[in-house]
Every structure is written in C-alpha cells, then in structure tokens.
Amino acid sequence: MAPTLTDVAKRANVALSTASRAFSAPNRLGPQTLRKVLTVAQELGYESPVARTAEPITDAGTATVAVVVPDIANPVFGAFVKAAQGEGWRRGQTVVLADTDFDPDHEREVLTHLREQADGLIVCSPRLDADEVLDICGRTPAVLVNRETAGTDCVLADAAEGMRQAVEYLAALGHRRIAYVQGMQRSWSNAQRVKLIRAEAGRAGLALTLQGWQSETVAGGTAAAAGVLASGASAVIAHNDLVALGVISGARALGVSVPEDLSVIGVDDIPFAEVSQPSLTSISVPMVRAGALGLELLGKVIGGERQTPRTLRLPTQLIVRGSTGAARVRPAGAGATAGRAASGAAAGGAGS
C-alpha cells in the first residue's frame, strides 16, 4: 500500500497539518522542520497529490537563481554553468554565478550571502558537508549537484557504469596493475570514485595503487606522474581530465610514452580530451544535462510545484581514444628509475 501523509507525519513526529504545509505552503514552515518532513517523505516514497496546487514561493518566471561552483576555470564546470544559464534564459530567470575556488570557508561565506539575494540556489560539487550546505541555505530552496543527501533534490553524475567500463577495458588490454590519482581531500566525487575503483579492480583481479590527494588541475597530475610510474602500474585512471593530462605531461618529462608504456584515462570528457596528443580516453560525465536539469528541478520548487525530493542519477560511459593501449612489460627497473628521477619534484609539487 502506498504511504500516506499520515504515515509521513507519524514518522517525522509532527502534526498532520504540519506535514501538509510542507507540500502546500512550504514557506510557512521553518527550514529544519520542512527538511525533516521532506526527508521522511523521500524515504517512504510518498508523493503529494497537492504538489501542483502549492502556493508559489515566488514568480518562477522572474526568479533569480544563484549557481555556485568550485572552479569556473575547469571546463566541466564551465559547461555546467553554460547549460544552467541557457535553461534559465529559456525560463526567463536571472542566473548569477559564484566561484568558491575549492575553499570551504569561502563557500560558506558565498552561500550565506546568496541565500538572502537569490530565490533559489544550485550548489555544484560543494566542499562543505551536505547537511551544512542545507543548513546555511535555510528557507532558500536548493538543488545539490554531485552531492547526495536526503531532504532536497540532488542531481548525480553516476560514475558506476563508466568506472566499470574503464576497469574492464584496461583488464581486457592486459593490464594487471593500475593506479588511481585522487582529487582533493574534501571532494565527495573523489571519495565515491575511490570506492568504485576499489570494487571494480577487485572484481577484475587487478592490483590497485591509490595515489595521494592532488589539486584537481594539470599541475596536480604532473606532480602525481612520478608516483604513478614508481608504483609499477601500466595504466592509470585520474580523478578528472585535467589531472590525466598532467599525468601524460609528467610521464613524458620522465621519458615514458603514452600509451606505449603507460595507459591513461581521465574523467569528464572535456573538449580538450579529443584534441590532446594523444587524444584522451575519458569517462564521459553528463554535466551539460546536469546543469539544465538542476534549473528545471529548482524551478518547480520556486514555482510552488513542491514535490517529494528526488535524487536523479545520470549515467556515465567510457569514451575510448588514443591514450590507452595494450599493456607492455617495461624493462626491469624502468618504473622505479623514473620514480627516483623525479621524486623531489613529486614531493614538492603535490596538490592540497
């Protein structure tokens, strides 16, 4: 039997009238109470039959939406913002942008400021914990992208399928030892990818070496290259395409050819991946779709179409290009020699 509003009220330990307001007049509830009711509704699978008659929070056609990203210089976030702006323009909404530079303290300040200025917030790949993000947003509706939590709409680029394809592809090419270059310590996406690659490598019978946290930039990948080579891995998956391009550059500086000696896979499939030399094999992440979908979900909340929060997962897939090839056994000691040659550079260039 489908859950009822009474079930939601009982589980959330609130009055039935309070649970009803969460869907018919959410602006009349405090943010913590509203989130508690919506979280329970989401967990129970309750859908409100009055969602489309709810009182609008504001005129969705004239709303101002703030999009918060950690690094607008990263092409994947640039594509996300462009898609969000395009969807906002189509809806007649004003879209403003904030870049937090991967800094949790700056992110906290930005969200605190924008919650008073905007009618809704889209927070992409936040560095803060999801609960803190929603606490800061308060009454201002928010959609989280690449961060999963209950009580609000979330859009996720689900890396599971793409990572499975990548690891299986490397195994099919004869690679038996692979490495993963991590992103930054506070990256939720990085933590998810570590779990996935551990599981997939174990399933495929591959030895896996995890490299330390790096800045999610070309420089971060360049700094990680020596450690990758010293590990003896014949293939590496990097946290994102920028890191992967840095690994290729660092490997070349150490006299290692890609893909002849080392296969490299990135994540994101940015435009540069196709034109790099060699072209970069990458796990394609649908951030353009995520940008448009985030605006669409937020618009429904702003316009009074309050629905039980949803987590939408967008699939990823492997795009094979020239940076991967069949495994080739290196001459004895080649990886260790390369690692020793650049050990000083790796120690000094590690990202935050």
* Residue 116, both tokens: 């008073």
Residue 151 has pLDDT above 90, yes or no: no
Specify the 3-state DSSP secondary structure of 237: strand
Give the C-alpha separation, 57 to 46, whole Å: 22
- pLDDT at residue 56, rounded to an integer: 55
- Given 3-state DSSP classes, what are the helix, strand and coil percentages for the chain, each rounded to the nearest 5? 50, 15, 35
**Residue indicated by tokens 């020793």:** 340
In the structure, how many helices (H) and strands (E) does the chain have?
Answer: 14, 12
User: Residue 346 — pLDDT band, cuts 50, 70, 90?
Assistant: very low
- The DSSP letter of residue 190 is H
- pLDDT at residue 42, rounded to an integer: 76
Residue 33 has pLDDT above 50, yes or no: yes
- pLDDT at residue 57, rounded to an integer: 56
315-325 in b/e burial notation, b at 16+ Cβ within 10 A?
A: ebebbebebbb
Q: What is the DSSP string of 50-100?
A: TGGGSPPSS-GGG-EEEEEES-TTSHHHHHHHHHHHHHHHHHT-EEEEEE-
Average of pLDDT values for 240-247? 98
Average of pLDDT values for 209-224? 96
Average of pLDDT values for 105-121? 95
Average of pLDDT values for 241-269? 98
Looking at every residue in the chain, the average pLDDT score rounds to 88
- The DSSP letter of residue 26 is G
**Alpha carbon of residue 229 to chain centroid:** 27
Residue 263 has pLDDT above 90, yes or no: yes
Which segment, 84-98, 140-154, 241-255, is predicted with the most confidence on average? 241-255
